[in-house]
């Protein structure tokens, strides 16, 4: 990854964060999604482990049934609120004032597609989990590579579904086509955005690890609680930024538009797309 590529990605993160500062309601979607996901873990995964665990304490075959149910419901929750987030991001980038209600209404209108996408996502997730659990080191490597590829080519599924009104399978195909057109040889540009949050995460990991050396339980608990809140905040911001980013890149890949909040040259140099229309700057 070149310095210029990473610099462009940092600039895009900053521009996306500027959108969040101007439209704080966008963070409601990842917050609610995160809370519901935690509830699902407590309601499904914990009982699933307790019911299915074997005498040696490892999860049994029944655990995968609970895991699949969790994947379906968790995927539905994440996709539903990401749909609202991306819809509201487009409104914000178009100069409007998005409302949480409008985003939820958009997601509700696309319930059949969201459900279908959740089922496909859950199926892929459970298959990869089984490969990891039963494939040893090779299985872990293979599943990791497939997961990365799957996440990359499906990055634009939600924008395609809601803005082009396509079915789930067609949306996956179109997302893969947009990915190929948008990223080209600059695939690492997107991963450098993740690197920004990885580095921010280290800020929390280091004190959490260092405080253990004190041996002072009250101090350890206090620091870990602060770090936990810090990581939750990072997760919320990262989720919101990804929604904004997906909206921006989708718009640029399909019609060549760069919102006024973003630098057109940074977008074009970082992602090198071949837009269908001549590139121009607009709201």
User: pLDDT per residue over 141-175, tens digit each?
Assistant: 999 999 988 988 998 999 999 999 999 999 999 99
pLDDT at 271: 58
Q: What is the pLDDT of residue 275?
A: 46
Specify which of 136-150, 178-192, 241-255 reaches the highest per-range mean pLDDT. Answer: 136-150
Q: How many domains does the chain have?
A: 1
* Mean pLDDT, rounded, for 87-104: 92
32-46, 64-78, 178-192: lowest mean pLDDT where? Answer: 178-192
Range from 41-55, 97-111, 231-245 that averages highest in pLDDT = 97-111
Separation CA 82–CA 96 (nearest Å): 19
- pLDDT confidence of residue 99: 92
* Mean pLDDT, residues 103-112: 96
Residue 197 has pLDDT above 50, yes or no: yes
pLDDT at 88 over 90: yes
The reported pLDDT for the residue numbered 50 is 81
Of 4-13, 21-30, 257-266, the one with minimum mean pLDDT is 4-13
pTM: 0.84
Across the range 237-260, mean pLDDT stands at 85
Please give the pLDDT value at position 18.
87
Q: Residue 182: what pLDDT?
A: 64
> What pLDDT band is residue 59 in, cutting at 50, 70 and 90?
low
- Grade residue 269 by pLDDT with cuts at 50, 70 and 90: low
pLDDT of 154 reads 92
Per-residue CA distances from 8 to 146, 156, 263 (Å): 27, 20, 10
Contact of 153 with 174, CB cutoff 8 Å: no
CA–CA gap between residue 6 and residue 189 (Å, rounded): 7
Q: Say which residue, 204 or 9, is predicted with more confidence.
A: 204
Average pLDDT in the chain: 84
pLDDT at residue number 58: 65
Give 224-238 pLDDT, tens digit per residue: 999 988 988 888 888
The 10s digit of each residue's pLDDT in 184-194 is: 444 555 666 67
Range of the domain at 104: 3-281
């Amino acid at each position: 990854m070149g310095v210029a590529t990473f610099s462009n990605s940092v600039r895009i993160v900053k521009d996306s964060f500027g959108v969040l500062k101007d439209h704080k309601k966008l963070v409601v979607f990842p917050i609610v999604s995160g809370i519901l996901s935690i509830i699902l873990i407590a309601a499904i995964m914990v009982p699933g482990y307790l019911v299915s665990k074997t005498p040696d304490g490892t999860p049994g075959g029944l655990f995968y049934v609970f895991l699949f149910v969790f994947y379906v419901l968790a995927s539905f929750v994440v996709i539903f609120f990401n749909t609202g987030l991306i819809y509201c991001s487009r409104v914000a980038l178009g100069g409007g004032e998005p409302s949480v209600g409008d985003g939820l209404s958009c997601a509700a209108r696309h319930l059949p597609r969201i459900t279908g996408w959740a089922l496909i996502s859950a199926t892929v997730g459970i298959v990869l989990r089984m490969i990891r659990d039963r494939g040893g080191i090779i299985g872990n490597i293979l599943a990791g590579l497939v997961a990365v590829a799957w996440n990359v080519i499906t990055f634009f599924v939600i924008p395609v579904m809601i803005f082009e009104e396509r079915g789930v399978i067609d949306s996956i195909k179109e997302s893969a086509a947009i990915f190929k057109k948008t990223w080209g040889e600059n695939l690492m540009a997107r991963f450098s955005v993740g690197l920004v949050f990885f580095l921010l995460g280290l800020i929390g990991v280091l004190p959490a690890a260092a405080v253990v050396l004190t041996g002072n339980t009250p101090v350890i608990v206090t620091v870990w609680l602060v770090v936990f809140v810090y990581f939750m905040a990072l997760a919320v911001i990262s989720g919101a930024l990804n929604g904004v980013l997906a909206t921006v890149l989708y718009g640029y890949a399909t019609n060549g538009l760069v919102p006024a909040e973003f630098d057109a040259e940074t977008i074009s140099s970082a992602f090198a797309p071949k837009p269908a229309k001549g590139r121009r700057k607009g709201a």
